[in-house]
Amino acid sequence: MNFSLISRPNRSILCLAFLISFGGSVSAFADPGPIVSAAADKSLSVPAVVNKVRPSVVTILTRGMPAAPSQNQSGSGSGVIIDQTGYILTNNHLVAGVKSIVVGLSTGRLTPGRVVARDFLLDLALVRINAQDLVPATLSPSPALEIGESVVAIGNPLALKGGSTVTVGVVSALDRSVLTPDGETLYDLIQTDAAINPGNSGGPLVDLSGRVVGINVAIAPSAQAISYAISMDAVYPHIESMIVRGSIYRPDLGFTPLTVSPSLMASLGLEGDRGVLALKVDTTQAAGMGGLQEGDVITAVDQHQIYNMGDFWHALLRNGDQSAVQLTLQRKNGQLTIHLPKPSQPRTSP
């Protein structure tokens, strides 16, 4: 199913070709919002949930790289404050290519922000602001959701004046995966029927205990009331790494994976139109010693078909007791399989 990312561009063409690096150092994950167990009571009323979470929800106004000198590329989305030192969690697709950010707090105050971490595979980003008396949201590291339970989406759709908008729905499905417009796959998604609109990107999805259980990311434009949020199961383990490193930690495989396109496959003279290309293979590490060569295209991991890097990392780091993984490779002289030691799970800090 096709779907749309839900930041709100002010022009019809989004400029994603240029990535801007922002300077400045970051500190460890300090003074986070309260963390509570999955067994927390979910009996709050919707107004009580809103009163608890709304002070933590922000509007993110962006100005990006213009597609032409006469254009101003600007847009808006949402975010959620995760600690008192000014870290805000949002979506990568909202801030990719921007050259300036202004954050609107629930009090109505506007303050400059800067991007301190991004990850396009999980579609996550951290923005930091310098402000006092911030109210961090309560995060749920491992949500215990049931299909049919009520959830609340809070954000700033359509950049409407007067602060954030609240919508209510139910959890429609769990553990969804969808293909993004740039050809990558998002995993660990919560599907909900809460009304989500352009500008909700990066805003929180909250259960009836007032805990953030997901980050709103996408809608299915051809369907009625189908929207998605990245589960905090997938988000929380990486927050500290994003703060400390400015990126999400992933194991060093001894090669660089790259999503391939049909045109790239054709230029390499390989059959097929999908997979992950192996570049910069280090012959002294496990992958190279196990038989992986520069230019190989990985088409399956343990029999799971691979179309892009999202598929690749999801299959490679799947839970399981096996000590090795099987890679199916497409090479110019045909198809083969190799076995490599299974990499360790990503750490949350360096």
pLDDT at site 24: 30
- Residues 57-104 have pLDDT tens digits of 999 998 865 444 444 456 789 999 999 999 999 999 999 888 899 999
- The pLDDT of residue 345 is above 70: no
**Residues 74 and 173 grouped into a single domain:** yes
**Residues 31 and 155 grouped into a single domain:** yes
Q: Which of 56, 78, 83, 123 is catalytic?
A: 123
- The pLDDT of residue 261 is above 90: no
The rounded distance, in Å, linking the Cα atoms of 75 and 333 is 48
Give the model's confidence band at 286: pLDDT under 50 very low, under 70 low, under 90 confident, else very high: confident
**Domain edge (last residue) among 245, 275, 302:** 245
Tell me whether residue 93 is one of the annotated catalytic residues: yes
Tokens 């949402």 correspond to: 78
- Residues 319-329 have pLDDT tens digits of 667 788 999 99
Question: Exposed/middle/buried for 135, CB within 10 Å: 0-12, 13-18, 19+?
Answer: middle
**Residues 237 and 263 grouped into a single domain:** no
Give the model's confidence band at 39: pLDDT under 50 very low, under 70 low, under 90 confident, else very high: low
The rounded distance, in Å, linking the Cα atoms of 215 and 189 is 9
**Residues 102 and 197 grouped into a single domain:** yes
Give the model's confidence band at 227: pLDDT under 50 very low, under 70 low, under 90 confident, else very high: very high
Tell whether 347 is covered by a domain.
no
Are the beta carbons of 231 and 190 closer than 8 angstroms? yes
| Residue 33 or 305, more confident | 305
Tell whether 148 is covered by a domain.
yes
pLDDT at site 214: 97
DSSP states of 191-209:
EE-S---TT-TT-EEE-TT
Q: Which of 56, 93, 140, 231 is catalytic?
A: 93
**Residues 206 and 283 grouped into a single domain:** no
- The pLDDT of residue 134 is above 80: yes
Tell me whether residue 247 is one of the annotated catalytic residues: no
**Percent of the residues in the chain that have a pLDDT greater than 70, as a whole number:** 82
**Sequence-ordered list of residues with C-beta below 8 angstroms from that of 234, at least 6 positions apart, any chain:** 122, 187, 188
**Residues 239 and 318 grouped into a single domain:** no
Tell whether 349 is covered by a domain.
no
| Residue 110 or 27, more confident | 110
**Residues 157 and 132 grouped into a single domain:** yes
Q: Which of 56, 78, 201, 209 is catalytic?
A: 201
Task: List helix spans (H) across 193-279.
Answer: 232-235, 239-245, 262-268
pLDDT at site 65: 55
pLDDT at site 346: 56
The rounded distance, in Å, linking the Cα atoms of 183 and 307 is 9
Q: What is the mean pLDDT of the chain?
A: 83
Give the model's confidence band at 317: pLDDT under 50 very low, under 70 low, under 90 confident, else very high: confident
Tell me whether residue 238 is one of the annotated catalytic residues: no
Q: Which helix (H) or strand (E) holds 312?
A: helix 309-316
Single out the residue of 151, 157, 140, 143 nearest to residue 193, CA to CA.
151
**Residues 150 and 113 grouped into a single domain:** yes
Q: Domain span at residue 303?
A: 256-341
- The pLDDT of residue 113 is above 50: yes
- Residues 170-195 have pLDDT tens digits of 999 999 999 888 788 999 999 999 98
Using DSSP, state whether 294 is helix, strand or coil. coil
Query: Can you tell me the mean pLDDT for 268-272?
Result: 70
**Residues 232 and 316 grouped into a single domain:** no
